[in-house]
Amino acid sequence: MINNKNVTIHYIGHSSFLFETNSGQRIIIDPWLIDNPSTNETVESIGKIDFVLITHGHFDHVGDSIEILKANTNAKCIANFEICNWLGTKDIANVSPMNHGGTQVFDNLSISMVNAIHGSGISDASKDNLVYGGLAAGMILNFDEKYSIYHAGDTSIFGDMSLIRDLHQPDLTIIPIGDHFTMGAKEAAMATSLINSDSYIPMHYGTFPVLTGSPDEFKTLVESQSKSEVIIMKPGEKI
């Protein structure tokens, strides 16, 4: 099981996770709640949030960020420059834009933005077409310089995952396996040989019929080729 005493990990569903530190900081990433078939959570049930992280502009990742940020006026949104600018048009002012390769430090939490291979168009009901959402990203969360989590966002496998390993040495990687829009189980398992984390949590599978990637297949492939563990979390579960 994950050797971690610095943060509680709550799997909301799809690609949404809530992290809570020992000091009480609460960080939500890609907070898709309403209309997410894999969760019953709401903005109200999630409660107080200190940071909202967005990996890219697609509806199932921007999700309910606006509603959460309006309900938590002191919360800060971390996303790329384009998404933060778009949030400004929705009267969200407490944003801290960044881009690939950058790191922001907030007391005992640092957040780094790394590459991902994916799109990032934003669905906006007030526009006829998708709004440009910059480049998709992954996020590295480092807690007290003692435990680091790599949320890979939506991505395919890419060789520079080995550089993410060398630079950030993530203890845990949360990785998409659903296929069709991201890596499938086979590709994600190969990606783990580049990342080399101690533990992996699969995400972004089963929410829609096309997301056919199997967490059991992923677990079998990873654990047969390495000493890493795969934890298959159910929506609503905490570790």
> Does some domain include residue 217?
yes
Q: Is the pLDDT of residue 187 over 90?
A: yes
Q: What is the mean pLDDT of residues 96-105?
A: 98
> Does some domain include residue 1?
no
> Does some domain include residue 207?
yes
Q: Is the pLDDT of residue 1 over 90?
A: no
Other beta carbons within 10 angstroms of residue 1's beta carbon come to 7
Q: What is the mean pLDDT of residues 211-219?
A: 98
> Does some domain include residue 33?
yes
Q: What is the mean pLDDT of residues 219-231?
A: 98
Q: Is the pLDDT of residue 31 over 80?
A: yes
Q: Is the pLDDT of residue 161 over 90?
A: yes
Percent of the chain with pLDDT over 70: 99
The structural domain count of the chain equals 1
> Does some domain include residue 238?
no
> Does some domain include residue 110?
yes
* CA-to-CA separations, 23 to 50, 142, 208, in angstroms, rounded: 12, 14, 36
Q: What is the mean pLDDT of residues 57-74?
A: 97
Which CATH number is 165's domain given?
3.60.15.10
Q: What is the mean pLDDT of residues 97-114?
A: 97
Q: Is the pLDDT of residue 4 over 80?
A: no
- Helix axis angle, 215-225 relative to 185-195, nearest 10°? 40
Give me the pLDDT at residue 137, please.
98
> Does some domain include residue 83?
yes
What domain range includes position 144? 7-230
> Does some domain include residue 63?
yes
Give me the pLDDT at residue 2, please.
72
Burial state string for 96-125 with b = 16 or more CB within 10 A and e = fewer than 16: ebbeeeeeeeeeebbbbbbbbbbebbbebe
Q: Is the pLDDT of residue 3 over 90?
A: no
pTM, whole model, 2 decimals?
0.97
Beta strands (DSSP E) in the chain are: 7-13, 16-21, 26-29, 51-53, 76-78, 103-106, 109-115, 137-143, 147-151, 172-176, 199-203, 229-230
